[in-house]
C-alpha cells in the first residue's frame, strides 16, 4: 500500500466517530471470527472476550506467509495474506460464527467472489458485520463520487461508487440491520454503511 493510501486509511479509522462506530460493531461477535481487511491489527483490541479464535485475512499486496500468535488476552490470532487479487478464502464451509469487515469492500478487486466466499465459510446461523463506505444516497454527493471515481481509485486506492448494501444482498445475504450515515468531510469520502447481514436460506 502506498504511503498516501495508508495515511488516508489511518485518517479515516482514527476519526472519533469512526472509532465509536467500529467499537460498537466489533464488540458484538462471539466464538470463531473471520475479519477481512487491508491492514491487520486495527480491530483486534476491540473484540469481546467471548471471541475464541480470530482469523484475519489481509488483501494488501502480494501473497505472504501465514502467521499465528496470541494477543495479551490470550486470544488466538491467525493472520493470512492471500494477495490482493485472490478470489477465494482458505477455509472449510461453515467455519465461522461471525465475519467482520471495516473499510474493505471499497478496495477488494474481486468483491463479488469474496462476498460469495464469506457466505460459504459462514455458518448458516452466523452473521456478517460490516462498516464500509460507498455510494451516497444523496444524488448530489453520489454525482461527485461518480465523477471522482477514477481519480480516487488511482490516488486514494478505493472505489467511491460501490453500493455496499446491494453488493451484499447479491451475494446471498439478507440485511437484518442497516445504518446509513455521513461521518464528516469530505462528504464524497464519508458515506457510510454499517450493518448486519445473515445468509439467506
Q: Is residue 201 part of a domain?
A: no
In the predicted model, what is the mean pLDDT of the chain?
89
More confident residue, 32 or 24: 32
Q: Model confidence over 163-176: pLDDT tens digits?
A: 999 999 999 999 99
Q: What is the dihedral of CA 132, 137, 139, 140, to 10 degrees?
A: -50
What pLDDT is stored for residue 179 in this prediction?
94
pLDDT reading at 145 higher than 90 = yes
Contact 106, 130 (CB under 8 A): no
The answer to whether residue 137 sits within a structural domain is yes
Percent of the chain residues topping a pLDDT of 90: 64
Cell numbers linked to 14: 482514527
In a domain, 83, yes or no: yes
Residue 88 counted as domain residue: yes
Three-state SS for 194?
strand
95 is a domain residue: yes
pLDDT tens column, 71-109: 777 889 999 999 988 999 999 999 999 999 999 999 998
Q: What is the pLDDT of residue 7?
A: 52
125 burial via Cβ count (<10 Å: 0-12, 13-18, 19+) = exposed
The CATH number linked to 29 is 3.40.50.150
pLDDT at 129 over 80: yes
Alpha carbon distance 159, 173 (integer Å): 22
Residue 15 in this model has a pLDDT that exceeds 50 = yes
Residue 182, pLDDT score: 86
Asked if residue 191 belongs to a domain, the reply is: yes
| Structural domain containing residue 160 | 3-196
pLDDT above 50: residue 1: no
* Peptide bond just before 186 cis, omega within 30 deg: yes
Indicate whether 57 belongs to any domain.
yes
What is the tens place of the pLDDT at every residue in 105-115? 999 989 999 99
The count of domains in the chain is 1
**Per residue in 51-66, pLDDT tens?**
999 999 999 888 888 9
- Residue 45 maps to a domain: yes
Amino acid at each position: 500500500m502506498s504511503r498516501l493510501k495508508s495515511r488516508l486509511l489511518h485518517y479515516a479509522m482514527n476519526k472519533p466517530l469512526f472509532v465509536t462506530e467500529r467499537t460498537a460493531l466489533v464488540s458484538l461477535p462471539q466464538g470463531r471470527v473471520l475479519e477481512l481487511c487491508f491492514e491487520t491489527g486495527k480491530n483486534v483490541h476491540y473484540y469481546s472476550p467471548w471471541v475464541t479464535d480470530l482469523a484475519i485475512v489481509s488483501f494488501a499486496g502480494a501473497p505472504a506467509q501465514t502467521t499465528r500468535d496470541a494477543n495479551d488476552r490470550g486470544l488466538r490470532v491467525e493472520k493470512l495474506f492471500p494477495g490482493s487479487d485472490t478470489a477465494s478464502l482458505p477455509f472449510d464451509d461453515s467455519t465461522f460464527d461471525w465475519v467482520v469487515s471495516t473499510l474493505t469492500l471499497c478496495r477488494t478487486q474481486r468483491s463479488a467472489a469474496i462476498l460469495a466466499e464469506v457466505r460459504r465459510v459462514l455458518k448458516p446461523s452466523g452473521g456478517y458485520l460490516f462498516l464500509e463506505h460507498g455510494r451516497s444516497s444523496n444524488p448530489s454527493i453520489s454525482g461527485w463520487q461518480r465523477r471522482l471515481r477514477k481519480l480516487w481509485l488511482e490516488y486514494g486506492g478505493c472505489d467511491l461508487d460501490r453500493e455496499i448494501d446491494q453488493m451484499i444482498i447479491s451475494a446471498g445475504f439478507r440485511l437484518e440491520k442497516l445504518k446509513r450515515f455521513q461521518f464528516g468531510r469530505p462528504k464524497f469520502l464519508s458515506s457510510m454503511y454499517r450493518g448486519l447481514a445473515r445468509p439467506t436460506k
